[in-house]
Amino acid sequence: MSPPPTFSAYPLEDCNAHQEEIQAALQEFLRAGSYILGPEVAAFEREFAQFVGASHAIGVANGTDAIEVLLRALEIGPGDLVAVPSHTAVASASGIGRAGAQPIFVDIDPDTFTISPDALEALLVSPAGAQIKAVLAVHLYGHPCDMKRLGEVARDHHVVLLEDCAQAHGAVSRGRSVGSLSRAAAFSFYPTKNLGALGDGGAITTSDAALAEACRVVRQYGWKERYISASQGVNSRLDELQAALLRIKLRSLPGGLRRRRELATLYGSLLKGCPDLVTPVCREECEHAYHLYVVRTSRREGLMKHLLSRGIPVALHYPAAIHQQSGYAEVAEWSPPLPSTETVMKEILTLPLHPYLDEAAVRYTCASIREYLSEESVN
């Protein structure tokens, strides 16, 4: 096989693509002298809310804080449980714990890696169901959850449906963007995200005006007026400079999403029929955001070693589900069995995908996968 193509690094390539605009924004930031909750944050909040299709966006310091602030604003805390999949970034559970509530884990749909409505309903009718006040639906890897069915389950059992959109900027379900499909949603702008800052950042989106105002109060010490705390809040504010940079990147996000989908389609066509390999699916009436391109194979360890030896930067998202981590052993004890989660954790592998990746890199990756799996199937 010929030498490997270059696998460009994201988010560095994204930063380089916006270099001139970033430099201009930095100079304007230094000139303006506004550093905390200034005009750039206000403008980004308006623009991001419009992009999502929500009435309000509230900028916070990071995605974990977005979950915490949202739950605090909803007065979900000590003594309450929040249902969340175990197959997600640990930040999903961490934000719940920081609000004073406790996570309880729910199994996933093994085809889309998103929370299973049937598993959620079974949990809500179990003895633990009475303590569950909310469900945090994680649009993992960029695939929208089945929000229609989840909404029906949540309404039937009188729990609040919320979204974790940290990996799904620009994903669409039934013609509507994620972040507008529930009572409220949490976003992360960590640099590797589809919409990434040059540091930490996050936001909450909602069309509930009262909830939006409650989130604004919580994010800044519980202030309704300066220096006077009406309640116990936190300090979690989106940085003014990061807001300015996010405004720049937001304008190019639709193009980046198109490119991600093009590369995902190329992967799908080149890997079609490959032995012992399951490529990502997209539920009907959904548009995947492809934050990550995650395949499944029972030969994961050998394939991963083979691809890394070929210079292909594959990875595991994630090496362990949250309930399999020692820090959440107690939560695992009161959560139900998670058979689908435990099966996929042994098989998932993330292939390179971002808007600046050359098609030659995708073709090389697919050829290397076929080379290994085809030889293994013969042996």
In this predicted model, what pLDDT tens digit does every residue of 52-72 receive, in sequence order?
Answer: 999 999 999 999 999 999 999
For residues 268 and 161, give the distance between their C-alpha atoms in angstroms, rounded to a whole number.
32
**What was the pLDDT predicted at 379?**
57
For residues 272 and 249, give the distance between their C-alpha atoms in angstroms, rounded to a whole number.
33
Torsion of CA 177, 142, 189, 88, to 10 degrees: 120
**What was the pLDDT predicted at 377?**
62
**What was the pLDDT predicted at 362?**
98
**How many beta carbons lie within 10 A of that of residue 124, not counting itself?**
20
For residues 60 and 205, give the distance between their C-alpha atoms in angstroms, rounded to a whole number.
11
For residues 179 and 161, give the distance between their C-alpha atoms in angstroms, rounded to a whole number.
11
| Residues of the chain where predicted confidence (pLDDT) is lower than 70 | 1-3, 376-379
Bridging pattern class, strands 160-164 and 184-188: parallel
- Are the beta carbons of 109 and 186 closer than 8 angstroms? no
Nearest partner of 280 among 266, 291, 267, 294, judged by Cα = 294
Write the CB contacts of 227 (distance below 8 Å, at least 6 apart in sequence). none
Sketch out the chain's domains with CATH numbers: 12-106+114-248 (3.40.640.10), 253-378 (3.90.1150.10)
* E strand or H helix that includes residue 369: helix 359-378
- Cα separations in angstroms, 373 against 111, 136, 230, 266, 366: 21, 37, 61, 19, 11
pLDDT digits (tens, 9 = 90+) for 331-364: 999 999 999 999 999 999 999 999 999 999 999 9
**What was the pLDDT predicted at 375?**
77
Helix axes 359-378, 300-309, angle to 10 degrees: 130
Beta bridge partners of 206: 56
- Cα separations in angstroms, 282 against 158, 323, 369: 29, 26, 22
**What was the pLDDT predicted at 234?**
98
